A and B are shown apart, each in its own frame.
Chain A
Amino acid sequence: MKGWKIAIIVVVVAVIALFWRGLHMDPRFIPTVLEGKPAMTFAAQEINSGRIWKLEELRGKVVVLNFWASWCRECRAEHENLLQVQERFGSNKDFVMLGVVYQDQDEDARRFLKEWGSNYPHLLDPKGEVGIGYGVSGVPETFLIDRNGIISCKHVGPLVGSELEKVMERWIKPMLAGKELKSCA
């Protein structure tokens, strides 16, 4: 009898804990499976110059890939910070930052960049193949790709406040210095 009671209590507590955890989770959050995997290679056209950028040609460099759209408010919030990132690291020959226009009209994206400024290239992804290749389900999302073409880290959401600090100080800086990243958090 005592064993039965304990078993019932354990099961009830486990079920409540499961529901409790579910209630406090962001339903849009999808855990990434890409960290540590090779980044999908792509060849995509730059929105203004028309130049084709190929990821495989950037092997040996630290690449930051940011997916954004002109209709996305959070992308607008982080845009100035991304310009700061490029200003700080752009002069390093081992660093490349690329934007990828996600589910957007080319003209709207061009207008956005004209209005808010840009100091790094932005690529078009008209069929969404690059987005799918990087498991993107919403914007903004930012990826850090190491010199060997491996996705080291993925960040979902705008790079503002402590998140910007994290990406600059704990992701890009040590990676450019050739150090091993301890964690993406």
Chain B
Amino acid sequence: MRLIALLLLLLGLTVQAAQVEEDELEAKTRDLSRQLRCLVCQGENVWESHSDLAGQMRDHVRDHLRAGESPEQIKAYLESRYGDFVLMEPPRHGLNWLLWLGPFVLLSAGALLLRRQLSLWRKPAVKVEIAALSEEQKRKIDGELARLEDE
């Protein structure tokens, strides 16, 4: 009786261990597949797509992970076959920097432009130049003011 119980326990542990291993593989497959673009879909990744090609790519990822390849190796292989396009996130090199920095550059330029335009709107459109008073004019104004005070 004890022997049977021990065997059942061992069997249970083995099944559980296999389940954990399988779940890890599936989690890794999911993580990597989410980084890969479905090539026949519009903006969908390989994990979420239902297309045949995405299914084959998921199987490819799973098989190669199971064979001991690292996610980087699998990604590099697929990139060598399909180019950068297969990656959901374009790698940061060469012209791809335009994709990464372009929106920020345009946004900053727009903000500067807006700031400049707003400051122009706040200022008067025509600047009135006030000429300095001559000595004679100053004397005349002082005289007038003194006369007003006397009255």
Contacts and interface: CB of A to CB of B under 8 A. Distances in A.
Interface of A: 4, 7-8, 11, 15, 27-28, 30-34, 37, 40, 103, 127-129, 131-135, 137-138
23 contacts: A11-B106, A11-B109, A30-B39, A31-B83, A33-B80, A33-B81, A34-B81, A103-B53, A127-B56, A127-B59, A127-B63, A128-B53, A128-B56, A128-B57, A131-B53, A131-B56, A132-B57, A132-B60, A132-B78, A132-B81, A134-B81, A137-B39, A137-B40
Among B56, B60, B106, B109: residue with most chain A CB under 10 A: B56
A135 B53 contact: no
A37 B52 CA distance: 26
B82 interface: yes
Nearest to A34: B81
Contacts, number: 54
Say whether chain A's binding surface is mostly helix, strand, loop, or mixed: loop
Nearest to A137: B39
Contacts of B52: 103, 128
Interface string B10-28: 0000000000000000000
Contacts of B113: 4, 8
Given A34-B81, A134-B81, A137-B39, 11 more contacts: A4-B113, A15-B106, A30-B82, A31-B85, A33-B80, A128-B56, A129-B60, A131-B53, A132-B81, A135-B81, A138-B40
A17 to B, nearest CB: 13
